[in-house]
């Protein structure tokens, strides 16, 4: 049985559905190239990425509706503006979480090169789990987590993208950054539990700021991308809904020297924000550690008190960010 990011991983379904999608990976699929064939004028800095994670965890758990959550909104918007991304807006929408709490979700949307009609969307959730309900110590199950990996790592990738592309946007392509809210307040089991997750992105797609002329060609969700030694397999729903995007990103990863991180076999089936984006007509994939060597599912720190800055690997952040940057600029 595999856990999804937001509910139970549908292991039996994924196993049956993905039988035809698993590949016998060659050595070039799974071993990093010593001389990357793909170079980029945009080079991700692991220290900068780690700094973006540390800045978020220093605020405290970013539980929706909390003071720390509001401070994180301010941190994200000020960071974007600092790096020259001035087209920033906040979409607010009322939501009700699985425990009955009524909140105002605040999705932050920013555009780099906003006048370009050819666009790409990157997204990550910035809220954190209100409860460490997977912690080995039951006494911690009602304690909010730092969310260094589960939340802050994906945001770090987006902010590093803004730092690099904001001052010097890529030619002829626009990059949109979506920081979604209230992703991680769902219920892990019970009837209709899947519907209790990813509430912010569900509201965002109802008011997407796109026309048919400028809808993104594809989207990439970044979630739990900073784990120590993290490896990323082809997530099931990504492969099912946007196989061409998965192929593109994994190929770029190999060409960029990160074939040891992006493994060309099927991983878990994850209930995550990419499902809402796909349902809205934008092909979207989820880069997420869903087949950890130790657990067979997510990183061992998932929804535990150990999801803190000590569990972050700058090399993982670098591999993912550079792959995303190279994907954006590769024709």
Element (H, E) at 29: helix 27-30
Structure confidence at residue 331 (pLDDT) = 79
Q: Three-class SS of residue 72?
A: helix
Q: What is the pTM of this model?
A: 0.90
Structure confidence at residue 37 (pLDDT) = 72
Structure confidence at residue 36 (pLDDT) = 67
Structure confidence at residue 18 (pLDDT) = 34
| Angle of helix 314-329 versus helix 46-59 axis, rounded to 10 | 110
Q: What angle do CA 194, 155, 5 make, to 5 degrees?
A: 25
**Per-residue model confidence as pLDDT tens digits over 150-196:** 999 999 999 999 999 999 999 889 999 999 999 999 988 877 888 89
CATH number of 2-329: 3.40.630.10
Q: Give the pLDDT means over successive 10-residue stretches in the chain (331 positions).
A: 37 34 31 59 97 98 97 98 96 94 96 96 98 96 98 98 96 96 89 90 96 95 98 97 98 97 95 97 97 94 98 98 96 79
- Which residue, 265, 261, 264, 271, is CA-closest to 324? 261
Alpha-carbon distance values, 290 to 22, 114, 235 (Å): 15, 33, 7
**Per-residue model confidence as pLDDT tens digits over 225-263:** 999 999 999 999 999 999 999 999 999 999 999 999 999
Domain ranges in the chain?
Answer: 2-329
- Taking the CA atoms of the chain, what radius of gyration do you get in angstroms? 18
Query: Please, what sign has the CA dihedral across residues 96, 101, 104, 108?
Result: negative
């Amino acid at each position: 049985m595999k856990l999804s990011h937001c509910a139970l991983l549908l292991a039996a379904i994924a196993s049956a559905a993905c039988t035809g999608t698993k590949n016998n990976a060659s050595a070039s699929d799974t071993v990093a190239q010593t001389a990357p064939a793909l170079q980029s004028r945009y080079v991700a800095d692991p220290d900068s990425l780690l700094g973006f994670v540390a800045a978020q965890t220093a605020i405290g758990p970013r539980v929706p509706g909390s003071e720390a959550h509001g401070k994180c909104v301010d941190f994200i918007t000020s960071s974007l503006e600092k790096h020259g991304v001035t087209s920033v807006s906040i979409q607010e929408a009322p939501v009700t979480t699985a425990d009955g709490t009524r909140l105002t979700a605040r999705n932050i949307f920013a555009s780099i090169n906003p006048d370009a009609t050819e666009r790409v969307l990157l997204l990550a959730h910035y809220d954190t789990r209100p409860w460490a309900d997977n912690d080995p110590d039951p006494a911690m199950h009602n304690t909010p987590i730092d969310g260094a990996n589960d939340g802050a790592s994906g945001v770090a990738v987006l902010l590093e993208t803004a730092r690099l592309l904001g001052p010097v946007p890529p030619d002829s392509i626009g990059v949109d950054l979506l920081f979604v809210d209230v992703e991680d307040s769902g219920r892990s089991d019970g009837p209709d539990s899947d519907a209790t997750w990813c509430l912010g992105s569900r509201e965002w797609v109802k008011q997407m700021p796109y026309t048919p002329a400028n809808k993104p060609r594809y989207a990439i969700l970044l979630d739990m991308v900073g784990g120590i030694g993290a490896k990323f397999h082809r997530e099931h729903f990504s492969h099912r809904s946007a196989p061409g995007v998965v192929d593109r990103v994994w190929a770029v990863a190999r060409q960029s020297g990160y074939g040891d991180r992006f493994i060309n076999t099927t991983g878990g089936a994850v209930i995550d924000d990419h499902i809402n984006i796909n349902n809205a007509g934008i092909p979207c994939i989820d880069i997420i550690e869903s087949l950890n060597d130790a657990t067979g599912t997510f990183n061992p720190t998932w929804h535990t008190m150990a999801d803190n800055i000590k569990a972050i690997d700058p090399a993982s952040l670098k591999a993912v960010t550079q792959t995303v940057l190279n994907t954006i600029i590769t024709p």
